[in-house]
Structures are given as structure tokens and as C-alpha cells.
Amino acid sequence: MPRLVMKFGGTSVANLERISNVARHVAREVEAGYKVAVVVSAMSGKTNELVAWCKEAAPLYEPSEYDAVVASGEQVTSGLLAITLKKMGIPARSWQGWQIPISTDDAHGSARILDIDGEALGGSIDAGEVAVIAGFQGIHLPTRRLTTLGRGGSDTSAVAVAAALKAERCDIYTDVDGVYTTDPRVVPKAKRLDRIAFEEMLEMASLGAKVLQVRSVELAMVHNVRTFVRSSLVDPEAPEMANVEKAGTLICDEEEIVATQMEQQVVTGIAFSKDEAQVSIRRVADKPGIAAAVFGPLAEAHINVDMIVQNVSADGFTDITFTVPNADFERAKAVIETAKGAIDFHDVEGSTDVTKVSVIGIGMRSHAGVAAKAFEALAARGINIRAITTSEIKISFLIDAAYTELAVRTLHSLYGLDS
């Protein structure tokens, strides 16, 4: 009998009524003959509340205790869904991360999965009992401490469980019916994609589209897990729900997409992230070793630097601009100030009111002029570009946050993505 993993996000399990709707989705797949493992998130808003409590209790909380607190949201929903399934006459049991176990490293708050023991879990579902797994959680076995996988981590739990169980596929149920050309809540004209390539989904996710956690896409790509994104907020018994190809977006190899399209799209989607801050170091003495002097201390402070812009100097002085996550803005400036002896600059300044907007598409590999079109279109709307980075399949622009929606809509129309 084929195995299936079904994951339900926070909105899908937000209250008992929604949980009972989820149970009907599970019932449909059980009736279709699948051996089912379900992965659930905490009720929407719960994890935010738990995180806020930790910060209020002590701003410099112990990360291992933070994990003990924030993992509890998923414990509640896994138990509630198991109770609901049993009430419907479907055998089920809840599994916490440590019970499986899902073993992780000890990077509390953003742990990585090392291994999943699929034996007891697989045996249980094959015997006809639906496994309801608390997403987001793991255990660091040497210290026997609970761990969590980072915000949005239940997606990663689900794909990892699907790989461990060699499931036929992994269905990620959320509050939208698939992956769109951009966030459909920001651009109502966004189109749902039937398929998106792993590489593109990786870029979309890491550049701000929170529909899937980046790590889950990496795992799906490496282990070749057939992953669909689909909606839970629909009638579970509607006829179209039985056909996953119609009901959701498949994340798959590029070849699988090329096979279904006459002509490849150049741009597949637009992503944006408001979690950015810009730091600029003014009048830096332009000499060998300067980049190392700036970025070495930032790396030591575990500050993730993303975009970097440095000009060629005419008079021996240059400006260096880079971006860091919003939360690291003050710390990054402090690190640069502390390194002033080694760097030799005039001053350091910046802004947290910036957004990174990105254009993504594997078709960009073989098309020239994609960026030039964007420059023109953004200029015509009076949107100033502060920094640009490119790779083979994406271009990112750093702009003032106030222009986010306008820029996303402009680029979405420009590349023919409007529905």
C-alpha cells in the first residue's frame, strides 16, 4: 500500500472546526487506500505568542528553553487531530518529534535534521493507524533536549518524514491553493502555477515567499520527494480534491516542466522580503584587504550578509553598502564601529526601511535583457534602486520599503505574469 504524507499549516488547524475539516481531508486519503502520516503546525498565532513570552520572560533567554516552550504549540494540535480522527472511527495516534525520533543537531531555534528513524512510524501506519506528527520539533539526542527547526519548519518536518517513509508524495496543505507567480495577497492578479522547478522554488522561498520553508525545498530536491502545495480551506469531499495534479502546484525537476510547455517562460515569479536592512560605510580607504576587514568581523559575529555593493574609487576612497537581516541591523553597525581601527572610514549609516524585490526564472539563463527591462520600468514609476545583485536565475533589487507593492506589481505586469 502506498504511503502518503499530508502537512497542515497554522491556518488549517486554527480551531476545532478547522481541525475537523483537516480530519475529513485525511479520511478521504485513507479511504483512497493510502497509509497516512500527517504533520501539523501549531494553531496560527500560537508560535508568535510563545516566542513573545520567552522574550518577555528574559530578553537573553536560553535557546534550549526557548525550544522547550515554542515546541508546545505543535504538541497540542497533534493530540487534538488524533482525538478528532478517532472520534470519526479512524485509528490514529500522535507522535512528538522525540518519540519518532527526529534527530537534529543542537542549533536551538534553527536546528537541522540529521536523521529520522522511520521504522516504528512506518510500522504503525502500515498497520492502519494514522500517525499525527507534531511538526517543527526534533530532539538533540546526546543532550536529550528538544529542538525546533526554525520558523515555518513544519514544512521541513513533512518533507523529511516523506523521505524517511519513502512516501509516494508529500502534500503541503495551506491557506492558498498552490504556489503563485507572487504572493496572491499582495497582487490579486497573481497566477497559480501548475508546476515550479525545485531551483525556482528554492529562490522564491529564500527571497521571501514564505509559502514553503527553504530547507523543505532543499530536502525535496535532494531526496526527490514529489511535493505538492494545495489548499485545506476547501470542501474535502469536492470531486476535484481527488486529483492532486489539478488541486495544487507540483514542485519538480526542470525537465518535467519543459516536457509540458511549448515555450519556456523567461520569468516564473516575483518574490520580496521586507526583512532587510541596508548598512553603508562611507569614504572607506580603498586598498587591498578592506573587504576582509569589513566582512571578517561580521562573519565572526554570525551576521548573515546578503547583497554587497562597492564602487571602483577615483580618489582612493569608496563606499561599501551591504544588507543584513533586519534584526541584525544595530549589531552590524556596532561591529563595524568596533573595527574602525582596522577599516579606516568616515562614518557608517543605513536604513531598515528597505525591501528586496526579486525576479526569478530558469528561463533567464538563456535570455538577455531581463534586467534592463526592469530598470526602465522601475525608473518610469520613480522607484530608486539602491543595490542590485544577480545570479543565473534571479535578479534582486533593493528599494525603499514604501514602494514594495508598486514595484512587485510593476514587475509582475512587465514580465507578462498578470492573469
Chain contacts with ligand ADP (rule: CB under 6 A): 9-12, 41, 152, 174-176, 179-180, 182-185, 204, 209-211, 269
CB nearer to ligand ADP: pick between 265 and 321? 265
Residue that is written with C-alpha cell 514553503 in the block: 212
| 136 forms part of the interface with ligand ASP (CB under 6 A) | yes
Q: Is the dihedral of CA 296, 302, 303, 308 positive or negative?
A: positive
| 63 forms part of the interface with Mg ion (CB under 5 A) | no
CA 113 to chain centroid, in Å, comes to 16
| 135 forms part of the interface with ligand ASP (CB under 6 A) | yes
| 138 forms part of the interface with ligand ASP (CB under 6 A) | no
CB nearer to Mg ion: pick between 9 and 63? 9
Beta carbon of residue 193, minimum distance to Mg ion (angstroms, whole number): 18
| 397 forms part of the interface with ligand ASP (CB under 6 A) | no
Query: Are 319 and 280 within 8 A, CB to CB?
Result: yes
**How far is residue 98's CA from residue 117's CA, in Å, rounded to a whole number?**
10
Beta carbon of residue 86, minimum distance to ligand ASP (angstroms, whole number): 24
Beta carbon of residue 41, minimum distance to Mg ion (angstroms, whole number): 7
CB nearer to ligand ASP: pick between 13 and 374? 13
Query: Are 140 and 195 within 8 A, CB to CB?
Result: no
CB nearer to ligand ASP: pick between 155 and 306? 155
Beta carbon of residue 164, minimum distance to ligand ADP (angstroms, whole number): 20
| 77 forms part of the interface with ligand ASP (CB under 6 A) | no
| 152 forms part of the interface with Mg ion (CB under 5 A) | yes
Residues 6+ positions from 65 with CB-CB distance below 8 Å: 54
388, β-bridge pairs: 397
Query: Are 137 and 102 within 8 A, CB to CB?
Result: yes
CB nearer to ligand ADP: pick between 231 and 389? 231
Beta carbon of residue 149, minimum distance to ligand ASP (angstroms, whole number): 8
Alpha helix ranges (H) inside 39-106: 46-57, 63-70, 72-87
**How far is residue 342's CA from residue 327's CA, in Å, rounded to a whole number?**
25
Residue that is written with C-alpha cell 483512497 in the block: 32
CB nearer to ligand ADP: pick between 77 and 280? 77
DSSP tally for the chain: helices H, then strands E: 15, 18
Query: Are 355 and 404 within 8 A, CB to CB?
Result: yes
Which residues form the interface with ligand ASP (CB under 6 A)?
9-10, 41-42, 47, 73, 135-136, 151-155
Which residues form the interface with Mg ion (CB under 5 A)?
9, 152
